[in-house]
Amino acid sequence: MSALVGTLDSMSTNADRRVALLTLGCARNEVDSEELAARLAEGGWAVTTDGTDADVVLVNTCGFVAKAKQDSIDTLLAASDTGAKVVATGCLAERYGDQLAGELPEADAVLGFDHYPDMAARLDAILAGEKIASHAPRDRRTLLPLTPVARREAAVITPGHLPAHLRGVMRQRLEHGPVAPLKLASGCDRRCAFCAIPSFRGAFVSRTPDEILAEAEWLGQHGVRELVLVSENSTSYGKDLGDPRLLEKLLPQLATTAGIVRVRVSYLQPAETRPGLIEAIATTPGVASYFDLSFQHSSEPVLRRMRRFGSTERFLDLLATVRKLDPEAGARSNVIVGFPGETRQDVDELARFLTEARLDAIGVFDYSDEDGTEAAGLPDKVSAATVKKRYDWMSALAEELCAQRAGDRIGSIVDVLVDTVERHPDGVDVEGRGAHQAPEVDGSTTLVAGGNLDPASLRPGDLVRAKVTESMGVDLIATPTELLSPAAP
C-alpha cells in the first residue's frame, strides 16, 4: 500500500482540480481528513489545506458542543467568500444534515459519513454544477447490532477505518510533523447524559490489530516518531473483537514499530481502566506514561445524573495506582461545571478532587444543553450566570493547580520529542514535549542551552533527554543532556 500512497501524493500535486480540505475539532477528525485526502487524490483531485485558489473547499466539521458548531459554521461562511464551491462534511454535517443545508445556503452540499467512499465523484458532480441531495440524519447506533462481537460483519461506513476490500493503508498525511494520530476505534456504547456523540458517530467498533499495525508501520516510514492513539473510548478497545485486554497486548507491538519512539494513549474512561492496562501504559518501554482520564466531575450525585461512575476517593485511588507504578506519570482530564442539579457543595467537592489529584492539565467546560441528550430534558437547571461564575472560578483554580504541578517537575529528567526548530538571527527556538505532554493540549517544553547538548544541533523528530530548570504556567524549560534517538535524515 505504500506504493499506492506514494502514487496518491504525486496525484495530489499534478491534478487540475484543487480541493482545500479544512479540518476542525479533534484528532479523530484529523485521521478522517487524511482518509478523505487519500480518496480524493486517488480520484484525481489535488489536495491542499490552503483555502485560497481552490475549486472546492471541503470542511470537515465538528459537532461536539455549541462553540465547536459555531466555529464550523463560521469556517463554512468564510469559505463561501472565496468563490469556491463549499461542501460541509464531518460531525456537524452528519448530525444535522439537511437541516444544516436549509439553514446554510452558502454550502453547496452537506455530505455525511456514507458519502466518504465516493467523495471524489461527489465533488466532481458538485463542481460540474449538479445538485447533490443533502445527508439525511439518523441515529447511527441503530445501524449496528447491539452485541459488540456481532458488529464486524455489518456493512456500515466508519470514517477512519480501513475499508473491508482493502488490505493496505488508505491515508495521506496533511501535516508533516513528527507526531500523528492513529485511530483505534470509532463510536461509543456509553450513554453519558450530556453527550450526543454516539448518536452521530455510532456504536463502538474496534479496528483490527493488523490494520492498526500496518498503518503504524506506514506512518513510521513517513517520518512519524510519536503515535497518538485516538478513539471515543480507548479503554473499550477489543471488546467487539472478543478480547477486552487487546490494547494491553497491542501497545508493546506498536512501541517496537520501526521509526516510532513513543506511543501515547488518549481518551481513557476511568470506570473501564483496568489494572493491567494501567501497568501496560506506565511500564512498557516506548509507551508514554500518560493517562488521559475522562473524569468529568467527582461529586457522586452529579456523576450519577451524568450516568457515569466514580467519586473523588475512587478517582484519587486510581491516580495513586498509576503513581505507585510511575511517580512521574502524566495525567490530564476534562471536567464540566453547571450540570443540571449541581450544587455549591458539588462544586466544592470537584475543587477538592482537583486540588488533591495533581493533574498536569485540566480542561474546564461550562455545561450547555445539547440536542437529543438526556441532560437537555433534566430539571433543576443551573442559571447561565451561575454556570459562568463557576466556570470562571474553576478555570482559574485549574490554571493555578496545573502551574503548581509543572513547578513540581523542576529538577526532574524528561524525555522530550522535538516538534519544531525555528532558526533566526538571534539564535534558535526549540520546542518539544515530554511524555506527560500531549500535542496541542498539555503545554510544551522549550529546550535551551546549558546542558551537554547544543539545542542548535537538534531537528524535529529527535528524542532527547533533558533536565527541567524552570516552569512557566504548564510549560517547562529544560536543558538537553543526551540525544536518545535521532530523527531520520
Cβ distance 85 to 57 under 8 Å?
A: yes
Beta strands in 151-251 (DSSP E): 179-183, 185-186, 205-206, 226-230
> Residue type at 124?
D
Say how many residues make up the chain. Answer: 489
Please enumerate, as own/partner, the contacts of 124-129 that have beta carbons within 8 Å and a separation of 24 or more. 124/17, 124/43, 126/56, 126/85, 126/87, 127/17, 127/55, 127/56, 127/85
Give the cell for residue 127.
463542481
Give the cell for residue 405.
504541578
Handedness of CA 346, 348, 349, 353 (dihedral sign): positive
**Any binding-site annotation on 195?**
yes
Chain centroid offset of residue 50 CA = 22
Strand partners, 378: none
Enumerate the H helices of 81-226 as residue ranges.
91-103, 119-127, 197-201, 209-221
**Any binding-site annotation on 402?**
no
Please, which residues have CB within 8 angstroms of residue 244's CB and are 6 or more apart in sequence? 236, 238, 274
Cβ distance 86 to 60 under 8 Å?
A: no
Chain centroid offset of residue 485 CA = 26
**CA pair distance 476, 414, nearest whole angstrom:** 10
**Any binding-site annotation on 62?**
yes
In the chain, DSSP finds a helix count (H) and a strand count (E) of: 13, 18
Strand partners, 334: 363
Cβ distance 322 to 288 under 8 Å?
A: no
The per-residue DSSP string of 361-426 comes to EEEEEE----TT-SGGG-SSPPPHHHHHHHHHHHHHHHHHHHHHHHHHTTT-EEEEEEEEEEEETT
**Any binding-site annotation on 91?**
yes
Residue 79 zone, left/alpha/beta (φ > 0; ψ -120 to 50; rest): alpha
Please, which residues have CB within 8 angstroms of residue 90's CB and are 6 or more apart in sequence? 24, 25, 29, 32, 59, 60, 61, 62, 63, 72
Nearest to 222 by CA among 258, 263, 254: 258
What φ, ψ does residue 72 adopt, rounded to 5°?
-65, -45
Question: What are the binding residues for [4Fe-4S] cluster?
Answer: 26, 62, 91, 188, 192, 195
Question: What are the binding residues?
Answer: 26, 62, 91, 188, 192, 195
